Amino acid sequence: MPSAIVIGGGLAGLASAAALGQAGFQVHVFEARGFLGGRATSYPVPGDNSEVIDNCQHVLLRCCVNLMDFYGRLGVADRIQFHKKFYFIEPGGRTSILEAGALPAPLHFTGSFWKLPFLGMSDKIGIARAMWSIRREHGRRRDLDRITMLDWLREKRQTETAIGRFWNQVLVSAVNEDLDRMAASHGFQVFWLGFLARANAYQMGIPSVPLGDLYSSEALQRIGNVRLHLREPVEQIVVENGVIRGVLAAGERHTADYYISTVPFERMPALFPQLQLDLAGFEHSPITGIHLWFDRSLTQLPHATLLDRTIQWMFNKSGGRYLQLVVSASRSLAEMPRAEVIAMAMRDLAEFFPRAKEAKIEKAHVVKEIRATFSARPGLEQLRPASATKFPNLFLAGDWTRTGWPPIMEGAVRSGYLAAEAVSRSAGQEREFLLPDIA
């Protein structure tokens, strides 16, 4: 049985381990921390072991077919609940709903889109024109990785309201970057696959359990052939005669036929100095999650995107009394003391949910993920390394490697499947794990 060592138990590592394990490889996963999931994980609230929270609400769209395939391998696909309505709320509380109607794609939003009260007629006509441009230019236009999404929107003469309330609202959360820093290719990807390709592709999947429960050790062990080594960071790589001969973890040497590294890009120079990767173009983009528990229910909506303020998304985690708020590309909050972040969130909430004015906070927790994802800026795609390396038995994965996708869970799983395919090819098996895009 060929063997593989996977470094890192985040989504990329677990996806490659699950694929190779099911293909008959003996796989060992080394994870530095005591739990799985990497940046998409959950843990007890500090100081209150009774409550487990996600580091931040993670959502997916139905077009994320490889992520769903991975959940299927773990037997947890039914724990993702898909929502067909997007709620946009304006300060003052007026709520608009975007949902697919009876028409086939790409016309499926026609009914609800033209009725959205938070956009004017000229905003909507401009957005509709831009959507047709995405259909026309997708796969044809060559400069989309060199210009920002904002450049492209200006070229398409989008109104300020359309940019602020529609494009910005959808894309900053989806790509975790501001429009003036985000490569247009990523904005295209989100709208092409998520909004235009199929009538149900936009549906938002939200896990019904804490993230950590999706990839429990038991689920992975059920796959067979996958052995987990938690709290065993790989400290060093052993290279002999141009081939990886082992890894050192917890003072022991472990060997395998193949090695897959899925550590984040900032860890690469220390762990793999031999690769001399050019990572100068990589920067981080932060995400802030704000968890608030109230003495009363603030809303019955399951989730909503909040317009024109700092908080971008609200997720209702428990009857309107526990809300999880998300700010993507949250550079403005990086230095802000936590008490101020909570005060800002309360001011914002009071404008959208009147009950917030009287509500008392029972508990609050702010998670600032300064290294949440890489910044998906123009010109980066060509710097993202492919899975093959100069060592014939070492492969790279992770959301930052070259998948063409923004830094999201689907990209991480894709990178894991690509690395597993490369391993399988090297072992003479030619297995395919990656599912093609829906369009």
- CA-to-CA dists, residue 141 to 135, 146, 216, 405, angstroms: 11, 11, 43, 17
C-alpha to C-alpha distance for 151 and 123, rounded to whole angstroms: 17
Q: Which is nearer to ligand FAD, 203 or 262 (CB)?
A: 262
DSSP-derived letter for residue 92 is T
C-alpha to C-alpha distance for 198 and 211, rounded to whole angstroms: 27
DSSP H or E segment with residue 28: strand 26-30
Q: Which is nearer to ligand FAD, 270 or 439 (CB)?
A: 270
Question: What are the residues binding ligand FAD (CB under 6 A)?
Answer: 7-13, 30-33, 38-40, 55-56, 58-60, 233-234, 262-264, 267, 271, 287, 289, 369, 372-373, 398-399, 407-409, 412
What type of residue sits at position 246? G
Q: Which is nearer to ligand FAD, 71 or 113 (CB)?
A: 71
Q: Which is nearer to ligand FAD, 263 or 344 (CB)?
A: 263
* Least distance in angstroms from the C-beta of 333 to ligand FAD: 12
Looking at beta carbons, which pairs linking 427-434 to residues 24 or more positions away fall under 8 Å? 427/2, 427/25, 427/257, 427/258, 429/23, 431/19, 431/23, 433/19, 433/23, 434/66
For the chain, state the CA radius of gyration. Answer: 22
* Least distance in angstroms from the C-beta of 205 to ligand FAD: 9
* Least distance in angstroms from the C-beta of 54 to ligand FAD: 9
Q: Which is nearer to ligand FAD, 325 or 359 (CB)?
A: 325
Q: Which is nearer to ligand FAD, 106 or 398 (CB)?
A: 398
Dihedral of alpha carbons 194, 375, 209, 307, sign: negative
* Least distance in angstroms from the C-beta of 409 to ligand FAD: 3
- CA dihedral (102, 108, 109, 114) in degrees, to 10, reads -70
Q: Which is nearer to ligand FAD, 204 or 359 (CB)?
A: 204
- Report the candidate in 245, 241, 233, 243 with the shortest Cα–Cα distance to residue 271: 233
DSSP H or E segment with residue 155: helix 149-155
3-state secondary structure of 45: strand
Q: Which is nearer to ligand FAD, 228 or 234 (CB)?
A: 234
* Least distance in angstroms from the C-beta of 303 to ligand FAD: 11
Cβ-contact 227, 71 below 8 angstroms: no
* Least distance in angstroms from the C-beta of 232 to ligand FAD: 7
Say which residue the tokens 């529609």 belong to: 166
3-state secondary structure of 235: strand
* Least distance in angstroms from the C-beta of 108 to ligand FAD: 23
Q: Which is nearer to ligand FAD, 159 or 330 (CB)?
A: 330
* Least distance in angstroms from the C-beta of 127 to ligand FAD: 23
* Least distance in angstroms from the C-beta of 41 to ligand FAD: 8
Cβ-contact 367, 350 below 8 angstroms: no
